């Protein structure tokens, strides 16, 4: 069969695919089921025409259809990689990673249980060795990813459950193919069945493929980052990735190519979106969707064409074996869903699944592309015994056709009978509010349109009457108020805000507002906010929103390097990224306030909009508190970042103006492209790399300390030049008892805890400590620990002595404060000795932090309700050295 005939036949099959799609919609059957029916019908018709030789030309057409070169390599190497890659990219990998343990458990365990039950059941009735029956079990153990994903989306299953099953349906192909390869090797060589060797091969293949996919995905993400402004190059890299990964892993490294493709797709799903521009990523998704549609369609159609030939010599006994396999497969899925899922639910690693949903999942286990490809792999292998080939071909092909033609055609009926095709109660009630707003908008827009073009009022009334009637019916429907509780409506509103925040964040990321790594971290935070809303309402939403501000272990480590070893660069990079994060976070939250007022208010009502506004304003206040502290500490860096934001906004507006002129037809695509390139080059040349300067201590910042109030501007300039910035992590020691008195500290932001013996005190912004050891020329008499993320200004001993000489009154003021503290401390000790009463319970560091739930990373200012002491109260309850 020549190249021209192959191309012509493929084109004809694609036309059939295009014709089948509207037929599937009208019939209400899944598209793959109708496609399989069409393929079987075409295959039967071609075989009949070829055998009866109606006419030479017709016989040639029939031969072209029957003899089209279809092989397992075509399925596994050309069509399957893009299908799996598209499914992996479509899944939200950030949230899937939260459930990766149960996903892997289901992906591996479900296949092993299925192949064991199916193979064992068939071995009991069929005259075939156990290895052959287990080979057949591996072929039919895995469900078709596209069918399963489409099924769950149609079901409207809970989001977390959908992620579990989607991830399992993608990863179980790798397990099935690895098991297939191991059992096929046993069948070909005739060796005894060694389950330990088979298990070892499966594990090595899966782990090796996962590592290869991870490395390939990260490399592709890096390349996409470098090619951000080259759309064609980015798309080329993304489409070539699954094929390169599959071939290298499967044919050269000897690990699971399927696993490698899926993992690389999940990596791009997690970090790829922030590497594309908005328009490019949408086009990338559409391109993958189209390629996956062609791959799925050709797989099912070509496999269905082969079905009549593979089932040519079927017998009644074969039908009996097939019936046993079908029952065993349903039982295997029941074992997973009714045996394993409840255990996962009890362990709180997955949500509970209703019996109705489990029933549909069991019956919806459609087999497709992988099953038929593995059948061909056995049929093409000349080392396999012909009787084994016949058995595998009949049983596996018949099994796949049964799931498609019997289970697939009855699936929608089963869903309707179980009531799984209906909207959830919240969606049904919320539907009236959405309809009311949209119908009102349609009516006003229609009248505006008619007035603009001077259409007859009578025609306008006729056109608008159905909408008014529907609007009246919707207005009388009070199911929204009755069916949805305040908590449910609040949940809907918070999830809408989180989704809008995700959209705004990606816009900022595409414009260069944040580094890709920060965008990825922010996106994961937003997803956590959505999950927290569903489980804990607004409190969960606020806790998840605060989580990015907290210190990580990495921050604790680099803060220790900065404070103890003088290594500043890692901390400077971290603080710079934190500053950018807070700045963009503030912009996005302000956009959320606008979105809430102008988009959600009409749907949710005034009272709920007010509550949501209070929640968003809480977030805004927290972000601004952190920003104020950083702006005080690094004013020059803050100004540079503000300038970058304005420059990026101007660049985005310039591109928008060019796009509007192009869409209006005022300029052509060539001129628009030239203008975009020029704007991009100007934008790139104007970008500056702002850096955090740890020496940026200004007189304005020192005004926050009452102890500097009497100094002149010139004296403040001298002090500012001597101060050093120290950033201290939560629960990190500033100094310990007995350490040298090498300087004193001023708290720019944050809070510290001072301990002398059994006594504890806390100090916050505007306070100072450590001066007694300086004045008395002795070692530290207290232990000081940061109880939040704290910015401290450190004045070394040499600088202290120098400033004391230049400004003698300042040293005198500190000496008076120190003397008063000593007297106060001695008085407290005497009073404590005279009253040997039971000591009050001491607060643990954890209790101290829990007493300030609204504080994130410290910044304990005047608004804080926590008992943070100020300089004015030092003479009453302050210990000696602090």
Q: What is the DSSP string of 567-584?
A: --HHHHHHHHHHHHHHHH
Cβ-contact 406, 33 below 8 angstroms = no
Residue-level pLDDT at 357:
74
Which of 398-408 are b and which e, b meaning 16 or more Cβ less than 10 Å from the residue's Cβ?
bbbbbbbbebb
Do 655 and 744 fall within a single domain?
A: no
Do 345 and 210 fall within a single domain?
A: yes
Distance (Å, whole) CA 691 – CA 683: 19
Regarding beta strands 790-796 and 733-735, do their DSSP bridges make them parallel or antiparallel, or are they unpaired?
Answer: unpaired
Q: How many helices (H) and strands (E) does the chain have?
A: 38, 8
Residue-level pLDDT at 187:
86
Asked whether residue 882 is assigned to any structural domain, the reply reads no
Looking at 633, 650, 681, the residue that finishes a domain is 633
Do 548 and 453 fall within a single domain?
A: no
Looking at 417, 446, 464, the residue that finishes a domain is 417
Residue-level pLDDT at 825:
59
pLDDT digits (tens, 9 = 90+) for 312-370: 778 888 889 999 999 998 998 888 888 877 887 777 666 677 787 778 778 877 776 67
Asked whether residue 564 is assigned to any structural domain, the reply reads yes
Do 171 and 232 fall within a single domain?
A: yes
Distance (Å, whole) CA 375 – CA 371: 6
Distance (Å, whole) CA 50 – CA 67: 11
Do 152 and 202 fall within a single domain?
A: yes
Asked whether residue 706 is assigned to any structural domain, the reply reads yes
Do 682 and 593 fall within a single domain?
A: no
Residue-level pLDDT at 423:
60
Residue-level pLDDT at 840:
41
Do 150 and 124 fall within a single domain?
A: yes
The CATH code of the domain that includes 370 is 1.20.1530.20
Greatest alpha-carbon span in the chain: 120
**Residue 78 burial by Cβ neighbours in a 10 Å radius (0-12, 13-18, 19+):** middle
3-state secondary structure of 192: coil
Residue-level pLDDT at 719:
78
- Number of Cβ within 10 Å of residue 349's Cβ equals 16
Do 235 and 280 fall within a single domain?
A: yes
Which of 127-160 are b and which e, b meaning 16 or more Cβ less than 10 Å from the residue's Cβ?
ebeebbbbbbbbbbbbbbbbbbbbbbebbebbeb
Two structure tokens written together for 715: 């004296």
Residue 329 vs residues 141, 199, 362, 803: alpha-carbon distances, Å: 8, 21, 9, 84
Asked whether residue 454 is assigned to any structural domain, the reply reads yes
- Domain span at residue 618 reads 486-633
- Number of Cβ within 10 Å of residue 90's Cβ equals 17
Run of H or E residues at 274 = none
Two structure tokens written together for 475: 């207005």
Residue-level pLDDT at 848:
33
Domains: count for the chain:
6
- Number of Cβ within 10 Å of residue 379's Cβ equals 20
Residue-level pLDDT at 837:
45
Do 725 and 625 fall within a single domain?
A: no
Contacts of 867 (CB under 8 A, 6+ apart): 762
Do 686 and 628 fall within a single domain?
A: no
3-state secondary structure of 749: strand
Do 729 and 860 fall within a single domain?
A: yes
Do 187 and 81 fall within a single domain?
A: yes
Q: Which parts of the chain have pLDDT scores under 50?
A: 696, 835-882
Asked whether residue 869 is assigned to any structural domain, the reply reads yes
What spatial distance separates the first Cα and last Cα of the chain, rounded to whole Å?
A: 90
């Amino acid at each position: 069969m020549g190249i021209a005939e192959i191309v012509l036949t493929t084109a004809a099959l694609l036309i059939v695919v295009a014709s089948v799609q509207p037929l599937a919609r009208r019939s209400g059957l899944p598209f793959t089921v109708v496609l399989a029916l069409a393929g079987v019908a075409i295959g039967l018709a071609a075989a009949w025409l070829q055998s009866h030789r109606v006419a030479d030309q017709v016989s040639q057409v029939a031969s072209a259809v029957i003899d089209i070169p279809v092989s397992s390599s075509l399925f596994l190497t050309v069509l399957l990689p893009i299908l799996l890659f598209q499914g992996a990219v479509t899944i939200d990998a950030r949230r899937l990673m939260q459930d990766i343990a149960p996903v892997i458990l289901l992906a591996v365990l479900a296949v092993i249980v299925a192949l064991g039950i199916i193979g064992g059941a068939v071995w009991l009735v069929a005259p075939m060795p156990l290895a052959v029956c287990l080979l057949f079990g591996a072929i039919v153990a895995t469900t078709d990813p596209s069918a399963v994903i489409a099924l769950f989306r149609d079901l409207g299953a809970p989001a977390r459950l959908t992620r579990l099953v989607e991830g399992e349906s993608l990863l179980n192909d790798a397990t099935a193919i690895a098991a297939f390869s191991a059992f096929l090797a046993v069948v070909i060589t005739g060796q005894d069945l060694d389950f330990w060797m088979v298990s070892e091969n499966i594990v090595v293949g899966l782990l090796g493929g996962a590592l290869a996919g991870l490395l390939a995905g990260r490399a592709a993400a890096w390349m996409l980052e470098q090619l951000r402004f080259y759309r064609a190059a980015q798309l080329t890299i993304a489409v070539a990735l699954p094929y390169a990964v599959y071939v290298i892993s499967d044919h050269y490294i000897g690990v699971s190519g399927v696993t490698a493709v899926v993992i690389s797709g999940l990596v791009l799903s997690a970090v790829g979106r922030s590497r594309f521009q908005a328009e490019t990523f949408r086009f990338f998704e559409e391109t993958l969707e189209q390629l996956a549609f062609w791959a799925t369609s050709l797989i099912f159609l070509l496999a269905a064409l082969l079905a009549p030939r593979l089932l040519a010599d079927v017998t009644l006994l074969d039908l009996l074996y097939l019936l046993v396999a079908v029952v065993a497969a349903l039982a295997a899925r029941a074992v997973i869903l009714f045996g394993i899922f409840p255990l996962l639910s009890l362990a709180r690693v997955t949500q509970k699944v209703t019996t109705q949903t489990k029933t549909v999942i069991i019956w919806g286990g459609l087999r497709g592309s992988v099953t038929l490809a593995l059948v061909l792999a056995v049929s093409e292998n000349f080392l396999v015994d012909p009787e084994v080939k016949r058995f595998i071909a009949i049983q596996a092909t018949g099994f796949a056709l049964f799931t498609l033609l019997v289970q697939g055609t009855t699936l929608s009926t089963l869903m309707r009978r179980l009531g799984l095709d209906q909207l959830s109660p919240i969606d049904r009630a919320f539907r009236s509010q959405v309809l009311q707003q949209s119908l009102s908008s349609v009516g006003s827009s229609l009248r505006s349109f008619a007035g603009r073009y001077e259409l007859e009022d009578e025609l306008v009334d006729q056109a608008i009457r159905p909408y008014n009637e529907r609007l009246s019916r919707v207005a009388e429907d009070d199911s929204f108020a009755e069916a949805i509780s305040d908590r449910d409506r609040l949940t809907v509103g918070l999830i809408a805000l989180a989704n809008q925040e995700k959209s705004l964040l990606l816009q900022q990321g595409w414009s260069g507002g944040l580094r890709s790594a920060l965008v990825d971290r922010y996106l994961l935070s937003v997803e956590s906010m959505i999950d927290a809303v569903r489980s804990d309402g607004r409190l969960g939403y606020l806790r998840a929103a605060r989580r990015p501000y907290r210190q990580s272990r990495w921050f604790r480590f680099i803060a220790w390097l900065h404070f103890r070893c003088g290594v500043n660069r890692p901390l400077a990079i971290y603080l710079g990224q934190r500053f950018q994060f807070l700045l963009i976070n503030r912009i996005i939250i302000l956009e959320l306030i606008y979105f809430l007022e102008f988009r959600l208010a009409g749907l949710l009502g005034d009272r709920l909009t007010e509550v949501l506004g209070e929640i968003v304003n809480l977030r805004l206040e927290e972000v601004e508190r952190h920003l104020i502290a950083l702006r005080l500490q690094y004013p020059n860096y803050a100004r540079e970042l503000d300038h970058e934001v304005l420059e990026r906004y101007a660049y985005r507006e310039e591109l928008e103006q060019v796009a509007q002129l192009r869409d209006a037809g005022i300029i052509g695509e060539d001129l628009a492209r030239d203008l975009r390139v020029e704007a991009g080059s100007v934008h790139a040349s104007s970008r500056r790399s702002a850096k955090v300067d740890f020496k940026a201590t200004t007189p304005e910042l020192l005004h926050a300390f009452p102890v500097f109030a009497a100094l002149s501007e010139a004296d403040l300039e001298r002090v500012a030049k001597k101060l050093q910035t120290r950033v201290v992590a939560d629960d990190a020691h500033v100094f310990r008892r007995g350490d040298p008195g090498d300087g004193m500290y001023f708290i720019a932001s944050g809070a510290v805890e001072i301990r002398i013996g059994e006594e504890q005190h806390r100090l916050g912004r505007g306070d100072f400590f450590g001066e007694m050891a300086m004045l008395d020329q002795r070692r530290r008499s207290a232990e000081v620990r940061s109880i939040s993320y704290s910015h401290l200004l450190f004045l070394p001993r040499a600088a202290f002595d120098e400033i004391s000489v230049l400004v003698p009154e300042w040293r005198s003021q500190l000496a008076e404060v120190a003397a008063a503290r000593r007297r106060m401390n001695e008085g407290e000790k005497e009073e404590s000795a005279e009253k040997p009463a039971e000591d009050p319970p001491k607060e643990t560091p954890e209790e101290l932090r829990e007493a300030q739930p609204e504080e994130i990373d410290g910044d304990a200012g005047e608004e804080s309700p926590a008992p943070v002491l100020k300089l004015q109260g030092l003479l009453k309850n302050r210990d000696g050295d602090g």
